Structure 1
Amino acid sequence: MTYDLTPRPLNPADKAPAMTWPNGARSALFIGFDVDAETAWIGNNPSNIDRMVTTSHGGYDARVGIGKILELMEELSLKATFFTPGWTALAHAEVCEGILKAGHEIGHHGYLHKMPDREKLDETFEEIDRGFEALEKIFGIRPVGYRAPSGENFPELLAYLAKSGIRYSSSFRDDILPYRHRSAGDRPGVVEIPVNFAFDDWNFGMSSRTSPRPLFGRDTVLPLWIEEFEATHAWGGVTTLVLHPQVSGRPMRWHILRDFLRHVQSKDDVWIATGAQITDHFETLEKERKASSV
């Protein structure tokens, strides 16, 4: 592949429009969980299928983590979006069905959590198709939201997502407000609900024997999350969480997450919403702006 390194904005999307949040809220909180389970360990490294201790990190999701996260959401009366790989839904059908039964949104997160690769378009599109098939089989629904496995994307994939019925993505890290992607031919693409990398719990709470790295506890994580949320709130943005049951479903980290969410709930001007709800609101405002400009 020849790479076009011409100086230009690498994301051609228009600047995010001004946002008015519902019910007079100053900012929004989007609680998103990536239910990777074992796919986090085998999707990009299939040889790990024969390393049961390595994959047991992901096995924690179904055995403990998902259940504890659902308990927390019920305790706090919150709804979240659970981005679920198709493989996870098939391998752990019963526990995954509990997510939908509890009233949460199901999002698309690939099939085997393979990182999308522009040089392997057929394989990348197959991940999307197989993911849809598995999620429809287990949940009986076709998701409208997508979070890229390993957090990567490119123009052809964005276009394929829109063609497949995806209405929003939550993967990019280039804004604090939702915006709409632009596809080839200047066609409108999916809505992006951008991510703040500071709210990815994997950065602070996951390590392994084969790639050890430091773990960070309450005194590091909770102040960071609170201060980053407070600044985003003051700027009127959306605080998007990238959480994993195999991380935040662990005992100490479960309590960090609970304390952070309680802090957010202590305010009366934060709209806590699922990805689909945020997309609905964005598109309503979009239609209103178009109507007023006629």
Structure 2
Amino acid sequence: MTYDLSPRPLNPAFPTPAMTWPNGARSAVFIGFDVDAETAWIGNNPSNVDRMVTVSHGGYDARVGIARILELMDELEVKGTFFLPGWTALAHPAACEPIVKAGHEIGHHGYLHKMPDRAKLEEAMEEIDRGFEALEKVLGVRPIGYRAPSGENFPELLAYLQKSGIRYSSSFRDDILPYRHRLADGRSGPVEIPVNFAFDDWNFGMTSRTSSRPLFGRREVLSLWIDEFEATHGWGGVTTMVLHPQVSGRPMRWHLLRDFLQHVKAKSDVWIATGAEITRHFESVAAPQN
């Protein structure tokens, strides 16, 4: 494969439109959970399937994490979007079904949490198809939102997502407001609800026996989250969170997330919304782009 390294914007998306939020809100908060379960450990490294202690990190989702997160969301009376790999739904239906019953949105997160690879185009598209099939089979849901496993994407995959009925993505890191993707042929693609990497709990709360990644405590993370949220709120953006039940479903980190969301809820001018709600709002206020 040859690579085009000519100087140009590497994301040809349409410019970010002027945005207002519903009911006079100054900013939005998008609470997104990636329910990877064991796929976080076997999707890109299949040999881990024979390392039971390693994959037990992911097993925490179904045994403890998902239920505890649902309890927290119910206590705070907020709705979120749960991005599920199809494998997770098939492996842990009893843990995943309550997400739908509680009224939360289900998003697409691949099938086996394989990082999308442009050099493996058929495999990447198969991950999309198998993910849809599993979520429809187990949960009776065909998602309209997608978060890229391992946070990667490429032009052909964006076009395939659009063709498959995906209306929004939440993977890119290049804005604080939603925008519309431009496909390689110039057509409008899915809406993007960009991620703020500071709100990925994996960065602060996950390590393993084979990793040198440090763990960060409550004080450091809560201070970072509040400061980043307050600044984003002041700029009128969207605070997009990338949370994992196998991280934020752990005891101390559950309380950390609770404290942060209570801080957000204490403001009267913040719209806490699912990805589908933000997408519908964007589509209602942003003129079509071609």
Fold equivalence (TM over 0.5): yes
Tell me what 1:201 maps to: 201
Cα deviation, residue 69, structure 1: 0.1
How many residues align? The count is 289
Tell me what 2:179 maps to: 179
Structure 2, gaps ≥5 residues long = none
Paired residue type of 1:140: G
Q: Deviation per CA, 1:48-100, whole angstroms, max 9, x where unpaired?
A: 00000000000000000000000000000010000000000000001100100
Q: 2:185 and 2:50 mapped to 1: Cα distance?
A: 46
Q: 1:144 and 1:160 mapped to 2: Cα distance?
A: 13
Q: 1:55 and 1:177 mapped to 2: Cα distance?
A: 35
Q: 2:77 and 2:52 mapped to 1: Cα distance?
A: 36
SS for the counterpart of 1:120 is helix
Cα deviation, residue 266, structure 1: 0.3
- Give every structure 1 segment of 4 or more consecutive aligned residues whose post-TM-superposition deviation is greater than 2 Å: none
Paired residue type of 1:249: G
Q: What is the alpha-carbon root mean square deviation over aligned residues?
A: 0.9
Cα deviation, residue 141, structure 1: 1.4
Tell me what 1:210 maps to: 210
Cα deviation, residue 150, structure 1: 0.2
SS for the counterpart of 2:119 is coil
Q: 2:173 and 2:73 mapped to 1: Cα distance?
A: 25
Tell me what 2:252 maps to: 252
SS for the counterpart of 2:33 is strand
Q: 1:185 and 1:229 mapped to 2: Cα distance?
A: 36
Tell me, yes or no, if structure 1 residue 148 matches structure 2 residue 136.
no
1:20-169 map, 5 Å = 20-169=20-169
Paired residue type of 2:271: W
Paired residue type of 1:239: T
- The alignment-based identity, stated in percent, is 82
Paired residue type of 1:34: D
Q: 1:183 and 1:239 mapped to 2: Cα distance?
A: 25
Q: 1:268 and 1:248 mapped to 2: Cα distance?
A: 25
Paired residue type of 1:163: K
SS for the counterpart of 1:97 is helix
SS for the counterpart of 2:79 is coil
Q: 2:210 and 2:123 mapped to 1: Cα distance?
A: 27
Tell me what 2:232 maps to: 232
Q: 2:42 and 2:178 mapped to 1: Cα distance?
A: 32
SS for the counterpart of 1:267 is coil
Q: Deviation per CA, 1:215-260, whole angstroms, max 9, x where unpaired?
A: 0011110000000000000000000000000000000000000000
Q: 1:76 and 1:262 mapped to 2: Cα distance?
A: 8
TM-score, normalised on structure 2?
0.99
Q: 1:130 and 1:278 mapped to 2: Cα distance?
A: 26
Structure 1, gaps ≥5 residues long = none
